A and B are shown apart, each in its own frame.
Chain A
Amino acid sequence: MLPVIQAKNLSIEYRIGKRWLNVIQDVSLHIDPVQIHGLVGESGSGKSTLGMGLMRYLANNAWISQGEILFDTYDLVKLSAAEMSKIHGRHIGFVPQNPLDSLNPSLTIGNQMAEMTQLHLGLSHKDALKRACEALETTNIPEPDAVIRRYPHQLSGGMQQRVMIAMALSTRPRLLILDEPTTALDVTTQAVILDLVRELMKEEQAAALYVSHDLGTIAQLCDVVTVLYSGEVMESAPVKTLFKKPLHPYTIGLLASLPSAAAGQNQSRLSTIAGVAPSLSERPSGCAFAPRCPVAIAKCHTDKPPLEKTTDNHFLRCWRWQDIASGDLIPKNPPIGKREETSPQPGYVLTAQHIHKTFSENSLLDRLMGKTARPVQALADVSIKINQRSTLGLVGESGSGKTTLARAIVGLDTADSGDLELLDMPVNLDLDKRGKEILRNLRLIFQNPNDALNPYRTVRETIGRTITLLAQETLSPINIENRIIALLESVGLTAAYADRYPQQLSGGEKQRVAIARAFSAKPALIIADEPTSSLDVSVQAVILNLLKDLRAENGASYLFISHDLEVIRYLADWIVVMYLGEIVEQGTNEQVSQAPMHPYTEALLSAVPMPDPTIKPGTIRLTGDIPGPRNKPTGCPFHTRCPRYLGDICRDERPPLREDEHGHVIRCHIPLEDLKQLQS
């Protein structure tokens, strides 16, 4: 069987300033017909460059310096731009990460889809529109006739991505390149899109290259997986082999650092990969992974291992794979460090009762004219309690109000009404009226470390300022300096970092500084809003471990917000699930992961792609999109998408809070016993 596309010894270089940087080094891979080939790697590994390079679509400052790409009877590297444009879109389709950037905002969906088939297949405009409609139908978009008349911004992210997939497939290409197509989507939407890709590939008999950083989606979708590190192939194998018996230390480390791996083994800490990925300009001379490899020997640092074939279809770039394969060598960093576990203490750090928050965007002119826009209800009667020395995990999709709740608690957004109490002190809803003691005990860690640190301040200034302002006792400059260094060391950095500016730090290091800053005034509660979402898996593991250690050391509590249920389940003692500004379920970690659970929680759990191809994905899929907060459904807010919809009662009446004897609360019309039966 001839492969659809085959890259041989491909190298791609980028021109940065006056130097040429080798981004892809000597990569060979082939994709067979009707095969989904996964390309996985962390940020900076060159996976997107390789994906785009395969269809010879590169930035102006990049070029293919070596190798060939065989597609059909052509070598794509040798084709002219005009010849390539006949292949792009016709024989090779592309689905980008961000569909809104790739759709023309001034054309209707129908017209831009028609462009493809008119150009490549020579259809008339009328036929092309009909074809567009049919293509949309295959993606299960409701009412395709209406959708082709809409503009991109009128569609939700999930719908836009379906349009992109339909468009890419409308010319029946033989190869589809998908570059992180679900990264910007919610987990429930992602599950639907992944199902769709799987189905369509089978139907169209097309091959695909699926580029992603997410091992879960790769495991669920792909047939063959290639692991890329520092622009080189480290390991390539059929998906079951790779996930069951990975042989490369990097792959093994990556898989072990997933929170779901720890949950499975009931492990209290995640194993991590030491160090950081090398920058492409200072690639090690030996094996690229050697500096971080737990089992590297002298030879690894000096000689680059070749890509060897171990068994059928299993390729590996490692000097020591035989030892690893025989089981003599376990290339895993044992979860080192403190193993102290903390258990929740009685008494509450924070109680928040009946928090309401609405946003209204009325301009002065509107108000003068007497117009009022419908306010957006972001939080409706939300109450939570956080125990001493515990972690409350808050989970929900985008638009669920979880970030708004965090901001209302710290005071960045002033809640409309509600009661807040911190360590039995009443907390004013307005930030400006809070005293120093409240400010000191309530600290925040942001999702994006790039924007949490002032680029014009050194690490010392950033941390020092918080200590000076908020520390309980007045400290002399020497004591402040000592405190800064102690904090840096507690987050795994050295004193030398104190003089650096944020631009000189990597993403993970920035987040560590932000964490050090949050702990600098010894707070009682830290609110962490998706602190690991913008980080790579291996860095995420380090940060999660760090947060666990610091909690044990300092006796602080966390309100930990994430869209990633696996991370929440790894870290939290108590889990709160939110949907459209309301709490739909809360309970202990175990309670929330087992039946009975709220139908929304059930759907969330079912949508999480497990990084193990043998675990079949859940089958519960949510139809439709999350409703905009402006038109929040009546009755139960989830009734429009609920797979266990009962009937009019769900639409008309707000469901009751059902609580069992252990404090597990579910807001649903279905009694707990019935839910349990339905779900088991």
Chain B
Amino acid sequence: MAQRPMAFLGLIIVCGYLLVMLTAPMIAPHGFSDVLDDPNNCITRNNQTRCAALKNAPPSAEHLMGTDRNGRDVLSRIFYGTRETIGLPIVATLLSVMLGTVIGLAIGYYGGWIDEIVSRILDSLLAIPALIMALVTLATIVPTLAMSDIPLVQSLGAVNIALIFVITLLYTPIVARVIRSATLNLRDRGYVEIARLRGESTAYILFSEILPGVLPALVVEGSLRFSYAIFLVASLGFLGLGAQPPSPEWGRMVLDARSQYATAPWALWYPVLAIAILIISVNLMSDGLQRIFRHEAERE
């Protein structure tokens, strides 16, 4: 990793984002929905001072990234926004990687008609354009979820659950296909056949003999899916289908700031920049991983 400065840089930046995500409440100067007072626009009446909201304030020492049209601190919102813009993709990516791995290993190893049927189902899922699939699924399941009283849904929010579901549905087939083809390469290796001749169970062969060999492909694919998932969450937020106000999700922030672009461009630019840097860093990292694994494979 140290020999690949760009990949290393990507890793450092991604780690920085993750740190922000974990410590957002501690390091954010304000809450994400706090409306800030404009000290130059206050009236004192009956010993009570009431101020107007500090709307569209430009970046300053006090508010490094300015405030938005509702008078909320953009920096604080970006900090809090990591929880949705990065947290949701992480959960969804992990889910699709795990599911995809199990499916991919199984169909790659068994082959035959199981493979034929499952592969065709995966193919048909892949044939639907991602965004349309997301739109339709969100529109149908969010209202249903919102009415349910499952504790998990209530604590995480119907939209978030739906987003995780959609991303998992979209990316599991892709991961499964990658793992399937990696498994096909390993299935007929001598050491796998020797394991069969020892009378090992299928589960042991899949997870102890084959899985280590597909791990490189898995890590690379996982990091790639992660960057796409970030993009998807932000895109859906921007389209108004993902996070709902007052959520500080970055795509949503861009959507909200769009109408005020002439007076407060910073409220739009900073979230855009945050997304761009994050995605570039994740891609640098996954590119580096890919090269490292390829290099190792060549050395073997």
Chain A residues with a Cβ under 8 A of chain B: 363-365, 410-412, 431, 434, 436, 439, 442-444, 446, 448, 451-457, 462, 465-466, 469-470, 503, 517
Inter-chain contacts of A431 with B (CB < 8 A): 196-197
B199 near A470 (CB under 8 angstroms)? Answer: yes
Name which residue of chain A comes closest to B113, CB basis.
Answer: A364
A448 near B190 (CB under 8 angstroms)? Answer: yes
Name which residue of chain A comes closest to B112, CB basis.
Answer: A364
Known pairs A364-B116, A444-B194, A452-B191; list 8 more (Cβ under 8 Å).
A364-B117, A412-B193, A412-B197, A436-B199, A451-B191, A454-B209, A465-B198, A466-B198
* Residue count of chain B within 8 Å CB distance of chain A: 18
Name which residue of chain B comes closest to A455, CB basis.
Answer: B300
A452 to B200, CA, bound (A): 16
A443 to B38, CA, bound (A): 83
Chain B 96-121, CB within 8 Å of chain A: the 1/0 string?
00000000000000000100110000
B197 near A444 (CB under 8 angstroms)? Answer: yes
Inter-chain contacts of B197 with A (CB < 8 A): 410-412, 431, 439, 442-444
A164 to B199, CA, bound (A): 47
Closest Cβ of chain B to A133, distance in Å, is: 41
Judged by a CB distance under 8 angstroms, whether B189 is at the interface is: yes
B116 near A446 (CB under 8 angstroms)? Answer: no
21 A-B pairs within 8 Å (CB atoms) are namely A363-B116, A364-B116, A365-B116, A410-B197, A412-B196, A412-B197, A431-B197, A436-B199, A439-B197, A442-B197, A444-B197, A446-B193, A446-B194, A451-B189, A451-B191, A452-B190, A452-B191, A453-B190, A456-B212, A503-B299, A517-B194
Chain B 206-217, CB within 8 Å of chain A: the 1/0 string?
000100110000
Inter-chain contacts of A517 with B (CB < 8 A): 194
A453 near B191 (CB under 8 angstroms)? Answer: yes
A641 to B243, CA, bound (A): 75
Inter-chain contacts of B209 with A (CB < 8 A): 454
A443 to B197, CA, bound (A): 8
- Known contacts A364-B113, A455-B213, A456-B213; is-contact A439 B198 (Cβ 8 Å): yes
A455 to B193, CA, bound (A): 14
Which of A442, A443, A453, A456 is most buried by chain B, counting CB atoms within 10 A of its CB? A456
Q: 5 tightest A-B contacts by CB? A: A452-B190, A456-B212, A364-B116, A454-B191, A446-B190
Closest Cβ of chain A to B219, distance in Å, is: 14
Closest Cβ of chain B to A456, distance in Å, is: 4
Chain B positions 161-208 with a Cβ under 8 Å from a chain A Cβ: 189-191, 193-194, 196-200
Chain B residues with a Cβ under 8 A of chain A: 113, 116-117, 189-191, 193-194, 196-200, 209, 212-213, 299-300
A239 to B57, CA, bound (A): 93
Main secondary structure of the interface of B (DSSP, over half): helix
A439 to B300, CA, bound (A): 31
Inter-chain contacts of B213 with A (CB < 8 A): 454-456
A470 near B190 (CB under 8 angstroms)? Answer: no
Closest Cβ of chain B to A277, distance in Å, is: 19
A466 to B199, CA, bound (A): 10
A434 to B198, CA, bound (A): 11
Closest Cβ of chain B to A407, distance in Å, is: 9
Closest Cβ of chain B to A643, distance in Å, is: 37
Closest Cβ of chain B to A425, distance in Å, is: 16
Closest Cβ of chain B to A379, distance in Å, is: 18
Name which residue of chain A comes closest to B188, CB basis.
Answer: A451
Name which residue of chain A comes closest to B190, CB basis.
Answer: A452
B113 near A470 (CB under 8 angstroms)? Answer: no
A412 to B117, CA, bound (A): 24
Closest Cβ of chain B to A410, distance in Å, is: 6
Closest Cβ of chain B to A108, distance in Å, is: 32
Closest Cβ of chain B to A502, distance in Å, is: 9
B200 near A469 (CB under 8 angstroms)? Answer: yes
A364 to B118, CA, bound (A): 12
- Known contacts A364-B113, A455-B213, A456-B212; is-contact A469 B198 (Cβ 8 Å): yes
Name which residue of chain B comes closest to A452, CB basis.
Answer: B190
- Known contacts A436-B199, A503-B300; is-contact A452 B194 (Cβ 8 Å): yes
A470 to B199, CA, bound (A): 9
A455 to B209, CA, bound (A): 10
A455 to B189, CA, bound (A): 11
Closest Cβ of chain A to B194, distance in Å, is: 6
Closest Cβ of chain B to A399, distance in Å, is: 18
Closest Cβ of chain B to A403, distance in Å, is: 12
A400 to B138, CA, bound (A): 59
Inter-chain contacts of A448 with B (CB < 8 A): 190
Inter-chain contacts of B193 with A (CB < 8 A): 412, 444, 446
Closest Cβ of chain B to A363, distance in Å, is: 7
From A364, A452, A470, A503, give the contact of B198 (CB < 8 A): A470
B199 near A439 (CB under 8 angstroms)? Answer: yes
Inter-chain contacts of A434 with B (CB < 8 A): 199
Name which residue of chain A comes closest to B119, CB basis.
Answer: A364
Closest Cβ of chain A to B116, distance in Å, is: 4
Which of B191, B193, B196 is most buried by chain A, counting CB atoms within 10 A of its CB? B191
Name which residue of chain B comes closest to A364, CB basis.
Answer: B116
B212 near A451 (CB under 8 angstroms)? Answer: no
